[in-house]
């Protein structure tokens, strides 16, 4: 979980999880996005939310197997995240099935909403992925 520094709340009764990422000056994206003005890419914000949702669903066995990215809906970026910021992510599980997870997320910096949306996770076909290339069933 490279995009998370810590998990600070796990509420199984409300299917809610909160974590954060302390954004350092040496993040892999700082040199190129954008040169001289490093801003966290939106796709990395979404990845952090996906990692948090995946952590929670695996920790509490809400889904079996390996969880992969299933999609994004209604994503909005409302602010920037820069080195030195603490990027806080809150995820609430909306729907959990055996093979699909739907999660609402919000991301904050200094209390300001910077990103929000809905992320979906799906169970990956481990048998097919672990087969030799060209030998999948």
Catalytic residue check, 31:
no
Question: In angstroms, rounded to a whole number, what is the distance separating the alpha carbons of residues 56 and 63?
Answer: 10
- Per-residue pLDDT at 101: 93
Looking at the whole model, is its pTM more than 0.95?
no
- Per-residue pLDDT at 1: 81
Q: Which domains does the chain have, with CATH numbers?
A: 6-126 (3.10.129.10)
What is the rounded average pLDDT of the residues 102-131?
Answer: 91
| Contact (Cβ atoms closer than 8 angstroms) between residue 113 and residue 88 | no
In percent, how much of the chain has pLDDT > 70?
Answer: 93
In 2-135, the DSSP E strands lie at 6-11, 16-22, 67-77, 86-96, 100-109, 112-123
> One of 7, 10, 29, 33 is an active-site residue; which one?
33
Question: In angstroms, rounded to a whole number, what is the distance separating the alpha carbons of residues 7 and 10?
Answer: 8
Question: What would the pLDDT profile of 15-74 be if each residue is shown by its tens digit?
Answer: 999 999 999 999 999 998 898 999 999 999 999 999 999 999 989 888 888 889 999 999
| Contact (Cβ atoms closer than 8 angstroms) between residue 121 and residue 55 | no
Alpha-carbon Rg for the chain, nearest whole angstrom, is: 16
Kindly give the residue spans of alpha helices, DSSP state H, lying in 4-103: 42-59
Say how many residues make up the chain. Answer: 137
Give 125 or 78, the one with higher predicted confidence: 78
pLDDT category at 127 given cuts 50, 70, 90 is confident
């Amino acid at each position: 979980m490279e995009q998370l520094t810590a998990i600070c709340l796990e509420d199984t009764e409300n299917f809610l999880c909160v974590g954060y990422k302390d954004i350092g000056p040496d993040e892999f994206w700082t040199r190129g996005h954008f040169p001289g003005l490093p801003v966290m890419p939106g796709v990395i914000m979404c990845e952090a939310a996906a990692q948090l949702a995946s952590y929670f669903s695996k920790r509490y066995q809400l889904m079996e197997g390996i969880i992969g990215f299933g999609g994004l809906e209604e994503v909005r970026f409302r602010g920037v995240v820069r080195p030195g910021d603490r990027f806080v992510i809150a995820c609430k599980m909306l729907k959990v099935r055996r093979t699909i997870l739907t999660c609402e997320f919000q991301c904050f910096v200094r209390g300001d909403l910077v990103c929000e949306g809905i992320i979906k996770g799906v169970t990956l076909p481990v048998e097919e992925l672990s087969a030799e290339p060209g030998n999948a069933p």
